[in-house]
Amino acid sequence: MSGSVAAGAVPAVRVSGVRKAFPVKGGGETVALEEIDLTIERGEFISLIGPSGCGKSTLLRVVGDLVAPSAGSVEVNGKPAARARLDRDYGMVFQAPVLFDWRSVEANVRLPLEIQGVGGSERDARVREMLELVELGGFAKHYPHQLSGGMQQRVAIARALAFQPALLLMDEPFGALDEMTRERLNAEVLRVWARTGTTVIFVTHSIPEAVFLSTRVVVMSARPGRISDVIPIDLPQPRDEETRETDRYYELVTEVREALRAHHGPAAGSVASLERARAEGGIG
Amino acid sequence: MSAPPPGDAPFPPGVDVAEADDPTAAADVEARADALATGSDRGAEAVVGRWSSPGGRLLRTALALVAFFAVVAVLWEAFKWLAGDPWRLEGILGTSLSYEHFPPFRVLQATDLQLPHLWSIAEALAAPVQRSQETSLFTYLVGAAAYTLAEALIGFLLGSAIGIALASVFVHSRLAERALLPYVIASQTIPIVALAPIIVVSFGRGLTSVVIISTYLTFFPVTIAMVRGLRSPDPRALELMRSYAASRWAIYRKVRLPASIPYLFTALKIAAAASVVGAIIGEAPGGVKEGLGRALVNFNQQYITGPEKLWGTILVAALAGISFYVVVRIVEVLVLRDRGRQEA
């Protein structure tokens, strides 16, 4: 899985000239995104990284047609984003699992299929397959409150994949988990990505996470949110725990950190503190 | 698993802890955390399970009610012991012994006419309603309570349905909410005792008026709670539904409605009690003879000759309201049994 596709194929995502401004009370506006151009090939794993307020979550939402851009256009698989949403091309995973506490694990994963109108044995089979994929086959009948945070997030991933979406949008899905759980889930996401061939856009505050997962890391800067750098990650696939100990991995981590620092001064180098200092409002 | 020595290669922030010799160690840790999470859930169940399981929740409700009645009974008799009328018990257990009690104080509100002894009320409940009849007062009152509860149930069901419908409209239409909500609130500022005769004049004496009054008291708490409940889902849950291209109806049915159920039950418990009050209040002007309302009016008029009868009726009316409440509570616990821990 190299992420590059034969020239001429329709890209998974094409963002051109996107600008997003939010009106501010008392007149004026806050510009969250400015001049965003980004093309993502099918099967790529793209991380969006940047300080709080750089608009990376907004960009994710614009791509997912949850927020309309003020200018510019988004095409997904050659279709406008709104069309892609209606065609159910998206899977979404948020920082919180957002599971429904009145539904069992399997019923949570089944929800998107119920809405899509997939019925009967096909639906049940798909649910079982997705739960196996995230290694929660034995927890189908459990309720969310009986699971750990990491397990809940895996249910959310299984649910996002239930449609077999062309594009998986993940908004800091592991930001609230401890480091060890996060690393384990990173490996799991890579495995799922390799098996399903889904294109992934992944918002994160963590440099190591971005480097470990991605085929390309998109570095953003704040006020207004812009893409300041795109760093290809040429670590070989498949990646595992040993990848994290290679020299190339450290070089890339350093490269991403320097790209972040270049645009935000020395303070922005400590992304770990940024992770905690998440005071994000409408922009994120 | 050891932390890397300081000054080692440029470790990315935050990963040092997990940097282990064994690549599967991290996976093991999470696996263990998972096992702990489910295990401790069961462990916790053993400690607090009695209270968090459905049976435990109901037991807690039952104990709270029993404790409440016990406290009221103790206070009641303590007040009479201190400040009531003197009394005398003769021939205890067939012996010639007798016991007399002279309360140290005298307070008008504690006299036998104002506040009969609990055993006098019990005696009155066991005695025939009228000298010529066989049915006891208790049997008569239970029949009256059943009648009133039936009226209240209709009012409760209608009121809840109206409340749910109004709230569902409000949540989907700001315009409707702004146009109608002020009237919903204003409706509750009119005293029901003032409104009841007008309703009876409009709809005639009989069951219809009683049910309308009961409905009127029920729909309000349900409306308000349901508006909150239907708005309670996490905004991200709604984004998720949007990403599924879910219709408004699907969002309502799959997310808003289930999310509102805990709120609904909070309101239904209030509404259960209110519907009984509404039915009792409506019975007098409504001219319904079979219910508790008429019994209350009758025994109120006979108070001087038999205060215990009125108190007995009040007791049965309270028990009727509580039993309705308890039924709603049982349904609540059963319906919500699979959700996480939540307040009773």
Fold of B137-335: MetI-like fold (1.10.3720)
Per-residue pLDDT tens digits for A126-169: 899 889 888 888 899 999 988 988 899 889 989 998 888 889 99
User: Considering CB atoms only, which of B33, B242, B250 is closest to A148?
Assistant: B33
Domains observed in chain A: 13-89+165-276 (3.40.50.300)
Of the pLDDT bands very low, low, confident and very high (cuts 50, 70, 90), residue B34 is low
Chain-chain contact of A115 with B241 (C-beta, under 8 angstroms)? yes
Q: Are A92 and B239 inside 8 Å of each other by CB?
A: yes
Closest C-alpha to A7, from A37, A38, A41: A41
Residue B27's pLDDT is 47
pLDDT at B11 over 80: no
- What average pLDDT does range A158-184 have in this prediction? 86
Find chain B residues with C-beta within 8 A of A272's C-beta.
13-14
- Domain borders along chain B are 69-115, 137-335
Mean pLDDT over the full length of chain A: 84
Of A146, A241, A253, the CB nearest to B23: A241
pLDDT digits (tens, 9 = 90+) for A42-73: 989 999 998 887 888 889 999 989 988 898 88
**Best to test chain B binding among A87, A113, A183, A270 (most B CBs inside 10 Å):** A183
Residue B93 has pLDDT above 70, yes or no: yes
Whether the pLDDT of residue A272 is over 50: the answer is: no
For position B52, what pLDDT does the model report?
A: 67
Residue B38: per-residue pLDDT: 53
Q: Which residues of A touch B250 (CB under 8 A)?
A: 115
Is the pLDDT reported for residue B116 higher than 60? yes
CB contact under 8 A, A143 and B339: yes
Cα separations in angstroms, B19 against A223, A242, B9, B15: 35, 10, 12, 6
Choice among A173-187, A197-211, B84-98 with the minimum mean pLDDT: B84-98
Answer for the pair B195, B213: CB distance below 8 angstroms, yes or no: yes
Residues of A in contact with B14 (CB under 8 A): 179, 206, 208, 272
Residue of A nearest to B36 (CA): A148
**pLDDT score of B162 more than 70:** yes
Task: List CB contacts (< 8 A) between A241 and chain B.
Answer: 23-24, 26
| pLDDT of res. B151 | 93
Chain A residues in contact with B334 by the CB 8 A cut-off are none
The tens digit of pLDDT for each residue in B176-233 reads: 999 999 999 888 888 888 888 889 989 988 889 999 999 999 999 999 999 999 999 9
ipTM: 0.80
- The confidence score (pLDDT) of residue B134 equals 83
pLDDT of residue B15: 38
Predicted confidence (pLDDT) per residue in A15-42, tens digit = 888 888 888 888 888 888 888 889 999 9
Between A274 and B70, residue with greater pLDDT:
B70
Closest CA in chain B for residue A107? B254
Mean pLDDT of B99-128: 87
| Weakest-pLDDT range from A179-183, A278-282, B317-321 | A278-282
Compare CB distances from B23 to A85, A101, A240 and report the shortest one's residue.
A240
- A residues 180-209 near B, CB within 8 Å? 180-181, 183-185, 187, 206-208
Asked if A234 and A248 touch (Cβ cutoff 8 Å), the reply is yes
Among the partner-chain residues A144, A184, A240, the one whose CB lies closest to the CB of B30 is A184
